[in-house]
Amino acid sequence: MPFDRFMALALYDPEFGYYRRSRQRIGYAPGTDFFTASTSGPVFGELVAAACTSLLGGLDAARTHSFVEIGAETPAGILAGVAHPFASVRTLRVGEPLSLSGDCVVFSNELFDAQPFRRFVFRENGWRELGVRLHDNQLTETELPLAEPPAELPASAPDGYILDAPFAAAALARDLAAQPWRGLFVAFDYGKTWLELVENTPAGTARAYHRHRQSNDLFAQPGEQDLTCHVCWDWLESALRENGFPQPTLESQESFFVRRAVDYIAQTSTAHAAGFSQKKLSLLQLLHPAHLGQRFQVLHALR
């Protein structure tokens, strides 16, 4: 089967899917697989609330908007226990129907990189699709004939060049943007431009995570490990523009918070200036370029 079909089963099968099982996936506790910005506790939610309030134009505007977190890892989401100005908070978890209307802040954290993606490899004079087969009771990679390559693929590439194409992530962005809501779109994730994907990543960007270790074995422990690839920011920006968001903006997580939540950062730094508190440490992890500040990017747009 093609890789995106395998990934959909491995991550989202209602019974066996990695993201459908009731277990703790993120954090530092034993048995977790990775950490994200939300691992930093309420500081992340406080920063997001401050930045979104700024982008909306202030407290009065924020009070009319509902904050909707798509793909929340926990039932209460990142604003659990966080003081915020929004009219309401709603979390939509994996498998729940996407329904948006009215004035909203539509927020996600590492949602798009976890969407199933297709894999291609260039052989001699054309592209072939990478998939998975069961052989001798083992899952192995296989090459599948490709009658008509997607139009987005370049006409040629170096022999053996692997391209991981996140079509489903772009489709999800279009679905979210096409719904009848107004307000702010904010997506935290990691990705590359299409040019970077087709020229600078000859081995692709797909990888697996299990117990805080990165692996290239995408078929090990299906249902027990995370699978991901870099999103294509160009495709997500196009999806937003096509649906009435005139100026999507992409910036590093560090830049996003420093520019949009400067008052919160200043107040927190001043309040904890005398010592090295947990809150100050969390702020450092989220902002410092050697930690998460440059590792993640933020795409935001307003309509």
Full DSSP string of 62-76: HTT-EEEEET-SSTT
Highest mean pLDDT out of 27-31, 102-106, 207-211, 222-226: 102-106
CA distance 172 to 153: 20
CB 4 within 8 A of CB 229: no
pLDDT at 23: 67
Closest CA to 27 of 46, 18, 17, 40: 40
Provide CATH code, domain 3-302. 3.40.50.12710
- The CB-based long-range contact list for 124-128 (8 Å cut-off, 24+ gap) reads 124/159, 127/153, 127/157, 127/163
CB 170 within 8 A of CB 176: no
DSSP 3-state of 163: strand
Between 15 and 30, the more confident residue is 15
165 Cβ neighbours under 8 A, 6+ residues apart = 117, 118, 119, 120, 150, 152, 153, 197, 232
What is the biggest distance separating any 2 CA atoms in the chain, rounded to whole angstroms? 65
Interstrand relation of 66-70 and 102-109 (parallel, antiparallel or unpaired): parallel
Task: Measure the N-to-C terminal CA separation of the chain; round to a whole number of Å.
Answer: 40
* 172-208 pLDDT, tens digit each: 999 999 999 999 999 999 999 999 999 999 999 999 9
Closest CA to 139 of 57, 218, 212: 218
As to burial, measured by CB atoms within 10 angstroms (0-12 exposed, 13-18 middle, 19+ buried), residue 194 is: middle
81 Cβ neighbours under 8 A, 6+ residues apart = 42, 45
CA distance 65 to 106: 10
pLDDT at 291: 73
pTM summary value: 0.92
* 49-95 pLDDT, tens digit each: 999 999 999 999 999 999 999 988 777 899 999 999 999 999 998 77
Instruction: Please state, rounded to an integer, the average pLDDT across all residues of the chain.
Output: 91
* 4-25 pLDDT, tens digit each: 999 999 999 988 998 887 766 5
5 Cβ neighbours under 8 A, 6+ residues apart = 116, 131
Domain spans of the chain, in order of start: 3-302
